[in-house]
Amino acid sequence: MLSGRNDYRELVQDDRVSGRLYYDAAVFDEELEKIWYRDWIYVAHESEIPEPGDYVTRFIGLQPVIVSRDEDRNIHLLLNRCMHRGNTVCQSERGNAHAFRCAYHGWTYNNRGALVGVPYAAGYDGSFAREEYALARVPRSASYRGLIFGSMSASGPGLEQRLGNAARLIDQFIDLAPAGEVILRSGVLKHSFRGNWKMALENSVDGYHPNILHHAAMMLITKGRKVDMEAVFGEHTDALARDLGGGSAQLDLTPINRERGGRVVPHGWSAMAWEQYLDAMQRRWGVDRAREIIQVGGPHFCIFPNIIFILNQFRVIQPVSVEETVVYYYPTMLKGAPDEMNQRRLAETYLIHGPAGRVAPDDFEAYERNQEGFRARANEWLVLRRGLHRERRESAGTIAGHETDETTQRGIWRHYREVMQA
């Protein structure tokens, strides 16, 4: 019925999309059904719940989920809803618990979701099978390099298949860790805006805006240093905007990083830390591969619909309503890297991102101005044609354009149209 209302072939065209997709509540409901409750959604990283009993609570779409680790170190994605009358059984966003007890009538579930306690049991006779009252599970869950994804749909492509080209970028991000793992245990910044979630996804791979919208931050970066931001995000950059397929997209700064020897070596590092890190990397990867990894540096990309990798951080998009969204920023530590390096990664996250950061607030102001602008209906189109004439298909099936081009947005929307029209 909803899909009857919206024709996504009309609303999403190759070089433009309708503003309606950002404010129509019926579109949002349909997105819940066809994207958030069907696709693979990133929920958490295994390192957030390292110990048996550790848990975090998250949302898949609008549904509350507990991500718990049991005594056998297995991970479970459980709906946070008592099977008796539906109270939430877990109130905290993180903690350690071997059981979740519902406050209302005391039904108790272990961290596998099994119903292990029912007060006044005589009220239920033999026909009552406790197994039927285990906490509902997210139908499918899977991990890749410690990233836990869940899907509310029992069927569909597997996680790795769905990740496609994005998988090797996850590798690129994590291989920077001498121990081959990232650790998310440094808290999270939570940043909200009054606007549609898709703006945050598109913006994450929008290479056109940084020098303009973030001019103040750029001023601070360049001040008293000879960095030409035009050669990074501007006209004469060698970086690329890449459509990875499946709605995933990348800003590929590799060419620049190669020259600069890789983003992971910010200026002002102690030589010692650098030595330590290089040494650890070489021991793990060998000299050449280590140099390669370091030079290429961390990738900048997004995986449709809700996770973004930028600098040292995971960024997660959480829709709240058609025009309310929250973005979570998780700093990631490189296991096996010197503390100095990881502290730097931590600092970069809060200095640059979040509500009071040097960069993120600009984007959030832009999102809210965008949502305001959508009230003008005389012309409903958003134009996505930038660089259409100069992008090229790559061997991997990906499409590469100039860093400032909208190749990335077009990739996101092509996938969106496909899943929404389905």
Partner 1 sequence: MSVERSAIERFLYREAHLMDNHRYADWFALWAEEGPLTYWVPCNGDDLDPKANVSIIYDTRTQLRNRVARLNETLWLRERAPRLSRVVSNVEIEDQNADEITASSNFVLVQLHRHVQHLWAGSSVHKLISAPSGLRIRSKKVVLINNDEPLPNLMFLI
Q: Which residues bind ligand FES (CB under 6 A)?
A: 82, 84-85, 87, 102, 104-107
Binding of residue 39 to Fe ion (CB under 5 A): no
Nearest to 199 by CA among 213, 183, 217: 213
**Strands 240-245 and 399-402: what pairing?**
antiparallel
The number of beta carbons lying within 10 Å of the beta carbon of residue 229 is 17
24-28, Cβ contacts within 8 angstroms, sequence gap of 24 or more: 24/322, 25/321, 25/322, 26/2, 27/322, 28/196, 28/319, 28/321, 28/322
Rg of the Cα atoms in the chain: 23
Please identify which residue in 20, 94, 105, 130 interacts with a copy of itself, judged by CB under 8 A: 105
Instruction: Kindly tell me which of 104 and 128 has the beta carbon lying closer to ligand FES.
Output: 104
Residue 85 binds which one of Fe ion, ligand FES, partner 1, none, with CB within 5 to 8 A depending on kind? ligand FES
How many residues contact partner 1, by CB under 8 A? 37
Site string for Fe ion, 345-364 (x = CB under 5 A): ------------------x-
Binding of residue 137 to a copy of itself (CB under 8 A): yes
Please identify which residue in 2, 351, 388, 419 interacts with partner 1, judged by CB under 8 A: 351
Q: Please return the burial class of 28, using the count of CB atoms within 10 Å of its CB with bins 0-12, 13-18 and 19+.
A: buried
**Strands 189-193 and 240-245: what pairing?**
unpaired
Six token digits for residue 185: 């245990």
Site string for a copy of itself, 12-51 (x = CB under 8 A): -------x--------------------------------
Range 176-235, binding a copy of itself (CB under 8 A) = 208-209, 212-213, 234-235
Residue 171 DSSP code: H
Range 304-343, binding a copy of itself (CB under 8 A) = none
Dihedral sign for Cα atoms in the order 221, 225, 227, 229: positive
HSE, CB side, 13 Å, CA atoms: give it for residue 308: 21
CA pair distance 380, 371, nearest whole angstrom = 12
Binding of residue 361 to partner 1 (CB under 8 A): yes
Range 220-249, binding partner 1 (CB under 8 A) = 220
Binding of residue 189 to partner 1 (CB under 8 A): yes
Binding of residue 54 to Fe ion (CB under 5 A): no
HSE, CB side, 13 Å, CA atoms: give it for residue 67: 27
**Is the link from the previous residue into 305 a cis peptide, with omega within 30 of 0?**
yes
Binding of residue 368 to partner 1 (CB under 8 A): yes
Six token digits for residue 283: 């021991």
Residues that bind partner 1 (CB under 8 A): 91-93, 103, 186-194, 215-217, 219-220, 326, 329, 331, 343, 346-347, 349-351, 354-356, 358, 361-362, 364-365, 368, 372
Residues that bind a copy of itself (CB under 8 A): 19, 62-65, 79-89, 91, 103-106, 119-120, 122-125, 127-128, 133, 136-139, 152, 208-209, 212-213, 234-235, 362, 365-366, 369-370, 372-379, 381-383, 385-390, 402, 404-405
